[in-house]
Amino acid sequence: MSEERTVKLQLRDDKGQMKEYFFDFVSQSKKLEYIRKEAALEERVDASGNKVETRLEDYQELQAEFVAGLFADKAVTKKAILEGLDSHDFKQIFEIIRYRVLGNSRKEDEEAKKAQEEQMKKLLAGLDSTTSNSDL
């Protein structure tokens, strides 16, 4: 198994014991399936044809269900993830989707975040320099 491709997920079972689960392969068809499912979630309409607002919880449930399906071990289910993963650690599910399933680059995300922070610092510094004593 390739180290960078292997995903490890630790879940607490109903007895309170931690168990580790692994997978190391995501097919292109699985990637496309996720893209379609997320698009369908975002395109929902009610009986009147009005767009249904997609909530964070909707994304989290979709992602938990999808990630569960990536593991060969049938003990990993949507319910097992939602009940066995600490809420503080749920970002792991988002990261599995973003970086392992969709193939986005963690390095590029970090660089973009740093660039945004630098732009914000420059913007704030510019605001400070335009404030004169008469404005106070």
Distance from first CA to last CA of the chain, Å, rounded?
63
Cα(20)–Cα(38) distance, integer angstroms: 27
Cα(134)–Cα(4) distance, integer angstroms: 57
Residue 106's pLDDT band, with cuts at 50, 70 and 90, is confident
Q: Which of 97, 24, 104, 99 is nearest to 66 (CA)?
A: 97
Residue 135's pLDDT band, with cuts at 50, 70 and 90, is low
Per-residue pLDDT of 55-105, as tens digits, reads 999 999 999 999 999 999 999 999 999 999 999 999 999 999 999 999 998
* 40 burial level (CB within 10 Å; 0-12, 13-18, 19+): exposed
- State the average pLDDT for the chain: 91
Within 8 A by CB and 6+ apart from 14, the residues are 83
Per-residue pLDDT at 6 exceeds 90: yes
Please check whether residue 10 is in contact with residue 20, taking contact to mean a CB–CB distance below 8 angstroms. Answer: yes
Q: What is the pTM of this model?
A: 0.79
Residue 3's pLDDT band, with cuts at 50, 70 and 90, is very low
Q: Domain map of the chain by residue range?
A: 3-104
